[in-house]
Structure 1
Amino acid sequence: MNGETPLFLAVILANKAVIRLLLAHPKTHMRHWRGSILHLAAFRARKSVLHTLLENKRVDVNETNKRQRTALHVAASSGLENVIRLLLVPLRRGWAPLHMAVHCGNPAILSMLLDDERIDVNIVNIRNESILCYAVACAKLPMIQLLLGYKKVDVSWLNGWRRATALHYALSRRRLDIVRAVLRRNDIDIGEPDGFGVSPRDMVCTTFPRVARILNARQITLTRRLRYLDLAIEYKNCKDGEWGVSTTGLHEALLSPRYREGV
């Protein structure tokens, strides 16, 4: 239906009595060409109306509009924290709202969603991208750092048609600051190949030659195979904060607090 339905008009006018009456009738149209009644209530931030709608079994909190967005999408994109809290009450699954929160760069909303135990933080969007890889693709460093602080966020998920990890994404975009952030997670596998058989270690040789030394030193330290390293590596207090190579300072560099805290 392209016209305004009675139920939509009742939601716009915030008439809860009429809304309940219409929802009780089996022939009442629940959808509109712009989406569901829940989308409209979320967009207008009508908390009292949302309470009324969510009480009814005919209202599906996971229903999507033509753009494949739920009412939670609408609330997340608008930064409506109070509305999100209401929509989370009957939540049964969560996917794109996380991506929407990252897209809008709203750390408060993202934290709220990540803290909700009912939300699968590793579910993917329609392009098979995890929330972490989507954040890397958007180059939103504060959101990336927030996500990496949650151990339940899988850093090794193979994303998209290329089947690449978040570290692959960061290296592809030549963002050294993001590469550093991702490498702070100890569960990163720098040898994980993508769909083309290329690992992050392979990529750094052409993208960031100096980072290659960081990855090699990190891998050697984690696997306790120091005796296989021919070169001594030490941290140099240069302006760009990179790692340098010399013939001394091996243990001081690899075991230093600066190194243990991350590159």
Structure 2
Amino acid sequence: MATIAFLGTGLLGSAFAEAAAKRGDTVTAWNRSADKVRQLEQFGVKAAAKPADAVRGASRVHLVLKDDAVVEEVIAAAGPGLAPDAVLIDHTTTLPGLTAARAERLKAQGIRYLHCPVFMGPPAARNAQGSMMVAGPRALFDSVKDALAPMTGRLQYMGERADLAAVNKLFGNAMIIAMSAAMADVLTIAQASGVAPADAIDLLKLLDLNAMVAGRGANMAKGNFAASFELAMARKDVRLMLETCGARPLAVLPAIAARMDQLIAAGHGAKDASVLGIDAVAPGSAA
């Protein structure tokens, strides 16, 4: 088994460290709040006072931190203890541009680095479920893939482009957050209509969201807005939703209505409601 370190033991980092120790790895961990590390001692995780102490002798160093600024701070603090052949495995959700710059700088410094964000919560991390994406040098990924595989239900190599996992993490989180906001508005419509929250959520189970992504989403990506649900009709439905909710706070429907009004005014009312994405796939929009 391996000697590894975890820098950052919040909810996700502590779950990863616990699972690694239970698999038989020798695990040392550091966290700014020392109490969070000491809670892991019951699983055999050793607590370190400083990042450099945690990484000393580790073949892999897993970063599970808040943001880019903290990643930079912790990598710098860990540097004096980092072994020359250690691999930094960064699970932090970060800005793609900063991720690419970080990877390039670390490569120039001779530090081996992979960006490996995940789609999983603490229970999934404890039980090797969910997904882990990896971006960085293929040879480096190949050298650690067998060690990463037991951490996740699905290990997906995204390619050598250093920021590609970061971008895809934002894709996924955008969908998760947007769906949470949409469900909040569904519950508001239910509240305004005297329908139990659980009944409203049960109704959503009738919708095949995967099919919507495969169908409408694929058409959007191609710029195909041939109507099956006209934008003007969809706007009417959003008006009914807003009127039903009255003065109750809503998460996304007012912004959707405003964007629909812009597109209808621009002459897109007879196109499919997916024309909401027209600016994202217009020629030159990727620049």
Q: TM-score, normalised by structure 1?
A: 0.30
Between structures 1 and 2, the one with greater helix share: 2
Greater Cα radius of gyration, structure 1 or 2: 1
Structure of greater relative contact order (alpha carbons < 8 Å, 6+ residues apart): 2
Q: TM-score, normalised by structure 2?
A: 0.28
